[in-house]
Chain A
Amino acid sequence: MKPIKELNPQFLESKENKQHLIDYLLGVADNYLILGQRLGELCGHGPNLEPDIALTNISLDMLGQVRSFYQYIAQLKGDKTTEDDIAFLRKEREYKNVLLVEQPNTDFGYVIVRQFFFDVYNRLFLNALQQSADETLRALAFKGIKEASYHERFSGDWLKRLGDGTEESKTRVQQAVNDLWIYTDELFHTTNADDAMIASGVAPDMLQLKEYYYDKVGELLSTATLEIPEVEYFQKGGKEGLHSEHMGYILADMQYMQRAYPDSKW
């Protein structure tokens, strides 16, 4: 796909632009890291063999995706920072993932709903990112898009099966939808860095796809015979580094090895 805009070759010579790009990339990449970590927790705990393998496969895809983003950030920084430093040695406030991906694996219904809400967004995002003015991001988007459509098919299929399943599965998955719905709006929240990257054509303007996102999600929920919750407000904060109580536990788990054995490698 052709980029919407060509990037001015001097673009990254500006310190401010570079910092904005790094901040923008962290906002994208940290979603993959934290969701990948959450899914990794399920290894060996899936309800049966196929979903167990699928969830860990998706986790691996997310971690693969995040490595490429962190490697790019490390390259932009141009100092001694490595992908491992970025993944393991930041403090909670420095992670820019949305609140949705850090929500716990309460039950299989929650896992599927969290995944579906993210997958629909992620495929739209990667699709649009293929037209980024930044060559590296175009390549990463191109590589990630196919995996993302498998993920969406998997979580969407399970959502239908659970919603249109037994009374028990329906009640529980509806509860998950109700609880996680308030975190969907944040996917479209933009920071100052995001706005700068949208203006320069590096980042897609996801706000333009928001209506389409909610249509897609709503369509599947109704196929799954589930209700779209009505909420008074949407929760946000993760993209600005303000996380829910769950984040500290994730980081404690994830960073333990690197802090106990400094400089160990992935």
Chain B
Amino acid sequence: MIQDYNISQDLQNILESVKDPEIPVLNVVDLGVIREVIVEGKEITIKLTPTYSGCPAMDVIGDDLERAFAAHGYSTTIQLIMSPPWTTDWITERGRKALEEYGIAAPLEETADKDVLLNDKKQVKCTNCGSQNTKLVSQFGSTACKAMFQCEDCLEPFDYFKCLK
């Protein structure tokens, strides 16, 4: 994951207090959207990479970052970095754990993801019982980043975070 910054723990804590508004267990650092943080006195520039094109959470994340830092007396400039594009590989290990605990299956690697979403292979693990006997209900879920699955053993419906490269 490409991130290039070295900031104090206090600032890191502020950063981590900002969550993805659609997946509130995932903070922006674990989501892997923060590319660079430049601190000049009380002025902070944050460079971030949007996840999915058209993801409405991105505007909210920008506003939330500004607000979180403003509460500690900083003024913030948000810059969007489009290239290289964000990938689900940038979600941290801690982030993946948080997703699973929240009931969202974390993204598989690219080939497996393709098999699951386009060729109906059974590889996504149920977040409720851990069974791999799960079926794709729809490639499209409650937000742009998720697909709908159902476990054929315990019958639990759950979301799967689609792999994006």
A: residues with CB less than 8 A from B are: 50, 53-54, 57-58, 60-65, 67-68, 135-136, 139, 142-144, 146-147, 149-150, 153-154
Digitize B137-164: 1 where CB-to-A-CB distance is under 8 Å, 0 elsewhere: 1111110100010000000000000001
Residues of B within 8 A of A153 (CB): 117-118, 139
Other CB < 8 Å A-B pairs besides A53-B142, A139-B85, A150-B140, 16 of them? A50-B137, A50-B138, A50-B140, A50-B148, A53-B138, A54-B140, A58-B140, A60-B56, A61-B54, A64-B54, A64-B144, A68-B53, A143-B82, A147-B52, A153-B118, A154-B139
Q: Which of B45-63 contact A (CB under 8 A)?
A: 52-56
A143 touches B139 (CB 8 A): no
Could you tell me the distance in whole angstroms from the C-beta of A177 to the nearest C-beta in chain B?
23
Q: Which of B29-52 contact A (CB under 8 A)?
A: 52
A57 touches B140 (CB 8 A): yes
B55 touches A64 (CB 8 A): yes
For the complex of A and B, list the 10 residue pairs with the smallest distance between their C-beta atoms, beginning with the closest: A64-B54, A64-B53, A54-B140, A57-B140, A50-B138, A139-B83, A150-B139, A60-B54, A143-B85, A63-B54
Say yes or no for B165: interface residue by CB 8 A criterion. Answer: yes
Residues of A within 8 A of B85 (CB): 139, 142-143
A68 touches B82 (CB 8 A): yes
Q: Which secondary structure dominates chain A's binding surface?
A: helix
Residues of B within 8 A of A53 (CB): 138, 140-142
Could you tell me the distance in whole angstroms from the C-beta of B146 to the nearest C-beta in chain A?
9
B: residues with CB less than 8 A from A are: 52-56, 82-85, 117-118, 137-142, 144, 148, 164-165
Q: Which residue of A lies closest to B80 (CB)?
A: A71
Could you tell me the distance in whole angstroms from the C-beta of A134 to the nearest C-beta in chain B?
12
15 A-B pairs with CB atoms under 8 Å apart are A50-B138, A53-B141, A57-B144, A60-B54, A60-B144, A64-B52, A64-B144, A136-B82, A139-B82, A139-B85, A143-B53, A146-B165, A150-B140, A153-B118, A153-B139
A65 touches B54 (CB 8 A): yes
Q: How far apart sit A111 and B140, CA to CA, in the bound complex (Å)?
A: 17
